[in-house]
Amino acid sequence: MEMILLDTNVLIEILKGNAKTIKKVGLFDKELAISSITVMELFYGAINKAEVKKLEAFVALFKIIDIDEKISKQSTSLIKTYAKSHNLDIPDAMIASTALVVKSPLFTYNLKDFRFIDGLELL
Structural domains of the chain, ranges and CATH numbers in brackets: 3-113 (3.40.50.1010)
Helix (H) / strand (E) element for 3: namely: strand 3-6
% of the chain exceeding 70 in pLDDT? 99
What is the pTM assigned to this prediction?
0.92
**Is a pLDDT exceeding 90 seen at residue 1?**
no
* Average confidence (pLDDT) over 88-100: 96
Query: In this structure, are strands 31-35 and 106-107 parallel, antiparallel, or unpaired?
Result: unpaired
pLDDT, tens only, 27-75:
999 999 999 999 999 999 999 999 999 999 999 999 999 999 999 999 9
Give SS3 for 31.
Answer: strand
